């Protein structure tokens, strides 16, 4: 276990004791994913202990939602933090450390990604089966004692067949692939995308990896779900634009809403 550096008493006084059966981190354009949930309470990130002192990025509200999904209550982090905001990987993973401090259940981490795999189309959901960390940072760096966590089964690949089958019943093709994490904020060059393709990456993002690593170190079962919101650099005739990423996310992520309950139920099996 790592030192999560969260004032737990202050946190519980603000958010409540729970229990929280799940936690969900929303990536760019993923707000529609939780539109069917009942919101019990909303907390601005800035009001919570340990929040990194940076402004919210467009597409990230910067709010913690206490929600009800069916019979279960959980936490939704509407917005995340990124290394390109000048933060360390440890700081960027603050939502996961907060979820761990509150004793939240399994964690679903989402992310908008660029499609490297030529068979992936904009709008395709992707079950992340592994990652390549090229950020030159690790959120576990500097911990004492060093947490030598095993990442062999960081991503619960055994869940994919049933998740894909349930998605297919809803008319959704759930891809699976390796995510490459880059520091940003600039998008990658076409040469970098060709490099990532040769390394075995199917999609590229500027997030998810710090959160997944901290979840592992905290003993919090977690799963990564990505959505292809743009073709990677050099894979399309036009340039890349964050506004288009947000629009694509909002348009396509709603197709995943009927599957959210199934995905959370399957993730419970990892506990």
pLDDT tens-digit map of 50-81: 999 887 766 557 899 999 988 899 999 998 99
Q: What is the pTM of this model?
A: 0.94
| Dihedral (CA of 134, 140, 145, 151) sign | negative
Answer whether residue 69 is part of any domain. Answer: yes
Q: What's the rounded mean pLDDT across residues 204-226?
A: 96
Q: Residue 59 and residue 39: Cα distance in Å, rounded? A: 19
Tens of pLDDT, residues 173-208: 999 999 999 999 999 999 999 999 999 999 999 999
pLDDT at 200: 98
Confidence (pLDDT) at 271: 62
Query: Using one digit for the tens of pLDDT, what is the confidence trace for 8-50?
Result: 889 999 999 889 999 999 988 888 888 889 999 999 999 999 9
Q: How far does Cα 227 stand from its chain's mean position?
A: 10
CA angle 201, 204, 207 (to 5 degrees): 125
- Return the closest-CA partner of residue 28 out of 260, 233, 235, 208: 208
Residue 253 has pLDDT above 90, yes or no: no
Q: Could you list the residue range(s) of the whole structural domain that residue 104 is in?
A: 8-270
- Output the domain CATH number for residue 52: 3.40.50.1580
> Considering the domain boundaries, does residue 1 fall inside one?
no
Mean pLDDT of 245-269: 82
Which of 14, 108, 103 has the alpha carbon at shortest distance from 64?
14
In a domain, 3, yes or no: no
Q: Is residue 107 part of a domain?
A: yes
What pLDDT is stored for residue 250 in this prediction? Answer: 72
* Rounded alpha-carbon distances, angstroms, from residue 257 to 6, 66, 123, 126, 253: 31, 18, 14, 15, 7
Rounded to the nearest integer, the mean pLDDT of the chain is: 91
pLDDT at 106 over 90: yes
pLDDT tens-digit series, residues 107-122: 999 999 999 999 999 9
Give phi and psi for 190, each to the nearest 5: -55, -35
Q: Find the mean pLDDT for residues 204-218.
A: 97
Domain count along the chain:
1
Output the pLDDT for position 32: 86
Whether residue 264 lies inside any domain: the answer is: yes
Q: Is the pLDDT of residue 244 over 80?
A: no
- pLDDT, residue 126, reads 97
Give the pLDDT confidence of 124-156 residue by residue, as tens digits.
999 999 999 999 999 999 998 999 999 999 999
Q: What residues are paired with 107 via a beta bridge?
A: 23, 222
| Mean predicted confidence (pLDDT) in 88-95 | 96
Q: What is the pLDDT of residue 73?
A: 94
Residue 267 has a pLDDT of 86
**pLDDT value, residue 179:** 98
Compute the distance between CA of residue 90 and CA of residue 218 in angstroms, rounded to an integer: 13
Reply yes or no on whether the pLDDT at 251 is more than 90.
no
Whether 174 maps to a domain, the answer reads yes
- Pairing type for strands 125-133 and 222-231 reads antiparallel
Answer whether residue 2 is part of any domain: no
List the one residue out of 195, 80, 91, 69 whose CA is nearest residue 139: 91
31 within a domain of the structure (yes/no): yes
Instruction: Please give the pLDDT value at position 210.
Output: 97
């Amino acid at each position: 276990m790592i030192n999560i550096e969260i004032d737990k008493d202050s946190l519980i006084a603000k958010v409540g004791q729970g229990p929280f059966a799940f936690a969900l981190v929303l990536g760019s354009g993923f707000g529609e994913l939780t539109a069917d949930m009942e919101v019990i309470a909303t907390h601005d990130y800035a009001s919570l202990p340990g929040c990194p002192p940076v402004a919210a990025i467009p597409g990230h509200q910067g709010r913690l939602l206490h929600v009800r999904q069916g019979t279960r209550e959980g936490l939704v982090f509407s917005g995340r933090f990124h290394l390109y905001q000048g933060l360390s990987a440890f700081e960027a993973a603050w939502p996961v450390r907060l979820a761990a401090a509150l004793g939240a259940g399994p964690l679903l981490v989402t992310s908008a990604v660029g499609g490297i795999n030529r068979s992936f189309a904009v709008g395709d959901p992707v079950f992340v089966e592994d990652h390549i960390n090229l950020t030159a940072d690790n959120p576990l760096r500097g911990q004492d004692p060093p947490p030598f966590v095993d990442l062999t089964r960081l991503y619960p690949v055994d869940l994919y067949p049933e998740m894909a089958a349930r998605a297919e019943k809803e008319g959704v093709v759930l891809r699976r692939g390796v995510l490459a994490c880059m520091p940003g904020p600039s998008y990658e060059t076409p040469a970098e995308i060709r490099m990532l393709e040769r390394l075995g990456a199917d999609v590229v993002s500027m997030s998810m990896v710090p959160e997944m690593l901290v979840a592992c170190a905290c003993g919090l079962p977690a799963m990564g779900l990505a959505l292809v919101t743009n073709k990677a650099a050099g894979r399309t005739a036009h340039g890349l634009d964050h506004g288009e990423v947000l629009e694509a996310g909002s348009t396509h992520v709603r197709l995943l809403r009927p599957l959210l309950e199934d995905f959370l139920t399957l993730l419970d099996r990892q506990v």
